[in-house]
Each structure stands twice: as structure tokens, then as C-alpha cells.
Amino acid sequence: MIIDNIANAKKYFSLNPRFEKAFGFLTDNDLSTLEERTYEIDGAEVYATFMVRQGIAPEEARHEAHDRYIDVQLCLSGGETFGWSFRPDCKNVAAEYNPQKDVIFYADKPDTYVAIKPGQFAVFFPEDAHAPLVGCGEIRKVVVKVLAEGA
């Protein structure tokens, strides 16, 4: 997991050959004009979804992980808290892996929580289980899905 400010995005380009396109979408576009939908960036290798959701209580957040994609989640407004656990430590599957949606859900509670504010992002790799959308009020965010190397 990585937590940082979008101003530092270039520091992470070397971690995945697709990160430059992913972060480029986030830094080179006027995100305030996005509609709530999915945006193709580089076919199935990199795409983004803009969403507006109501924040939920920590106990309502679904602890999830992905096999094929890395999540880059940028907070645009409202602030968001994420639960996090090292995925190999999650033992209680709540919903089996869905290969079409690339998601598995765990009943395990997160080990820790981290809050981000507008202009900050979180990166979740396949080894990171995360529980998003914890917060109060409206959360506006962009989630960029980046195909993991070797996926």
C-alpha cells in the first residue's frame, strides 16, 4: 500500500510500466468535469472509474482484494478512510473470488485504518486487502485500475 499526494505521482512510475498512464490520467485531466462512469485509458490494461458515494461506518465497509489489478484511488472531495490488512493474513472469505470483477471479499476486520484527504491517493496492490469508502458524507473519487505485472 502507498499513501501520498498526487503531486508526487512521478515517484511511482517505476513500480509498474502502466503507472505513468494511470497517473497521467489523474494529473492531466480536469477531474471536476468527470461524469460518473468508467473511462478507458489503455484498453483493459488501465481504466478509471469516477464515482460519488456516501461514506459508511467502518463495520459496513467490505474488505476486498484483487488478483489481476492494482487500485490507484484518488480522493477528490470529502475525505476517505480505508481499512487495510496484509492479504495473506486474511483467512475468512466472505465471498469467493469473482474473476469477471477481479474481487474477493473477506470477513476479517482490517488491521489498521488510514485516512486520506482531497488530493491524496492510495495504491492497493494484490497483496493488500482494503475496505474503502469509510467516512461521513459524500465522497468523490477516481479509482484507476492498473493491470499488475504478470497478470
Digit-coded pLDDT (tens) for 81-133: 999 999 999 999 999 999 999 999 999 999 999 999 999 999 999 999 999 99
Q: What is the pLDDT of residues 88-102, one digit of tens each?
A: 999 999 999 999 999
pLDDT at residue 150 greater than cutoff 90:
no
* 140 Cα distance to chain centroid: 13
**Kindly report the CA angle at 109 between 133 and 54, in degrees rounded to 5?**
15
Q: What is the pLDDT of residue 151?
A: 75
What total of structural domains would you count in the chain? 1
Share above pLDDT 70 across residues of the chain, in percent, rounded to a whole number: 100
Q: What is the pLDDT of residue 80?
A: 97
Alpha-carbon distance of 70 to 97, in angstroms, equals 16
Report the predicted TM-score, pTM, of the whole model to 2 decimal places.
0.96
Domain, as residue range, for 26 = 2-147
3 state DSSP class of 101:
coil
CATH number (domain holding residue 126): 2.60.120.370
